[in-house]
Amino acid sequence: MEFLFNCIYWILIICFRKDPHSAKPFEGLNFVDVGCGGGILSEPLARMGATVTGIDAVEKNIKIAHLHAVWVQIQRLRLLNTVAQQLVIEHVADPAEFCKSLAALTVDGGATVISTINRSMRAYATAIVAAEYILRWLPKGTHEWSSFLTPEELVLILQRASIDVKEMAGFVYNPLTGRWSLSDDIGVNFIAFGTKSTH
């Protein structure tokens, strides 16, 4: 999650030309964190000056996020037990409708960032066989390979939802260091950054 947050942070610094050395670089920006879980991404965004709405379909997650936000006295953070179709794109029945929901939450010119898993044989081997059955990082059956999207499919779906993809990158996990890093290899995990078309 730290890696994903850093990716989003730098993408938005570049997109909105904010000062990365400022204590509140996202002052004046509004974020919606879809599938916010316990607030791991929502809280740092709010601390950096953004007004954040975190949504999650799991009520327990929202309760945990709310308790922690109160405990650490986070301002500008609203947490809601609701859905934007579902939580993450690789688990939704209709990715096109999900992306339309994201677009509806985004102002013209606003940014959308999606991370997901490619529908490739390498992704099947790592995200399902290795992560669920060998390493047991996730419960068996968490992912369904046929629900993954290729980068080309995601770009097309986002374009139809009026979101133009500007950048795409892969990210890879190094088991020796235990760290994630950005990569040109989008064969397994990848992140897409786009902006909503202005009318």
Are 76 and 55 spatial neighbours (Cβ–Cβ below 8 Å)?
no
| pLDDT tens track for 71-92 | 888 888 988 887 665 445 555 6
- What are the DSSP E strand ranges found in the chain? 30-34, 51-56, 77-81, 111-117, 163-174, 179-183, 189-196
Q: Rounded to an integer, what distance in angstroms lies between the CA atom of residue 154 and that of residue 90?
A: 11
Find tokens 């009318």 and name the residue.
Answer: 199
| pLDDT tens track for 48-67 | 888 999 888 778 888 888 88
Q: Rounded to an integer, what distance in angstroms lies between the CA atom of residue 134 and that of residue 92?
A: 25
| pLDDT tens track for 138-196 | 677 777 888 899 999 999 999 999 999 998 988 877 777 777 778 899 999 898 989 99
Q: Which of 192, 172, 174 is nearest to 182 (CA)?
A: 172
| CA neighbours closer than 13 Å in the CB half-sphere of residue 58 | 11
Backbone angles phi, psi at 194, to 5 degrees: -145, 165
Kindly list the distances between the CA atom of residue 84 and the CA atoms of 123, 143, 198, in Å, as whole numbers in the listed order. Answer: 25, 19, 22
Q: How does DSSP classify residue 56?
A: E
pLDDT at 118 over 90: yes
Kindly list the distances between the CA atom of residue 30 and the CA atoms of 36, 47, 104, 112, 141, in Å, as whole numbers in the listed order. Answer: 15, 13, 14, 12, 35
Q: Rounded to an integer, what distance in angstroms lies between the CA atom of residue 148 and that of residue 86?
A: 15
Structural domains of the chain, ranges and CATH numbers in brackets: 1-83 (3.40.50.150), 95-199 (3.40.50.150)
pTM for the full predicted model: 0.69
User: Rounded mean pLDDT of 101-123?
Assistant: 88
Q: Rounded to an integer, what distance in angstroms lies between the CA atom of residue 65 and that of residue 57?
A: 13
